[in-house]
Amino acid sequence: MDQFDLLVVGSGPAGRRGAIQAAKLGKKVLVIEQGKRVGGVSVHTGTIPSKTLRETALNLSGWRERGFYGRAYRVKQEISAEDLRRRLLITLDHEVEVLEHQFARNRVQHIRGKASFVDPAQQADALFILAEAKYALALNKKDAGDLKDAALAYMRVVANFKDAPNHPHVPESLLRTANIEEQLNDAPAAQLLYQQIAQQYPDDPIAAVAKQKIQK
């Protein structure tokens, strides 16, 4: 049986980037994708299909060129569903080929199958890492909307694992959310979260940080 340093569940944007970056660092990586082809939801049912259909309609209708050629200009007089489907399939084939080439070039292996984290601690790790990534991006962009999204990601960890054994990543997630509330200038909300940490998780090292915040 082959041994791998990293198993990646799904070949969507996060999965492909994580897999390729790990491979570049010398790790042996396997991507497990439940779809018939790699790419995930963004390639096959989400972002790329919707944008391709929109751009195809704009192109074939001549909408973008009418300012130059006149309002009557059209690339094709009658646009059928088959026209849209054909362009969509060409685009999806291209996206899949690009991703497969990236995997092959970096020696990332992939198979079709279903996989999931079965241990609550591992599930919490995955959600917490996702929240941390959202928070890092929000800090970089300094956008209030992105900060709120990061806070929601942390609270998803809290909601899912507050009753799990050892409440994995729950105190840290509450602390991060409190920090975000402070950045959003909502001091009362932040204080409530600090109090929640101190009261519900007094033996966790994070509680000491929360108590210092409450005293301030």
Contact present, 184 and 147 (Cβ < 8 Å): yes
User: Would you call 195 helix, strand, or coil by DSSP?
Assistant: helix
pTM passes above 0.75: no
Fold entry, domain 6-112: FAD/NAD(P)-binding domain (3.50.50)
What is the architecture, at CATH level 2, of domain 120-215?
Answer: Alpha Horseshoe (1.25)
pLDDT at 54: 85
> Cα–Cα distance between 76 and 179 in angstroms, integer?
55
> Cα–Cα distance between 64 and 73 in angstroms, integer?
10
pLDDT at 134: 87
pLDDT at 149: 92
> Cα–Cα distance between 211 and 199 in angstroms, integer?
10
pLDDT at 73: 66
Task: pLDDT tens for the chain, 216 residues: list them.
Answer: 478 998 898 998 888 888 999 999 999 999 999 999 999 888 888 888 888 888 888 877 776 677 676 766 666 777 788 888 888 899 999 999 999 999 999 999 999 998 877 788 888 998 898 899 889 988 888 888 999 999 999 999 999 999 998 999 999 999 999 999 999 999 999 999 999 999 999 999 999 999 998 866
Measure Cα distances from 128 to 61, 71, 95, 184 in Å.
46, 52, 30, 21
pLDDT at 216: 65
- Give the domain ranges of the chain: 6-112, 120-215
Q: State both tokens at 198.
A: 């101190």
> Cα–Cα distance between 84 and 60 in angstroms, integer?
9
Q: State both tokens at 70.
A: 């006149």
Q: What are phi and psi of 14, to 5 degrees?
A: -70, -45
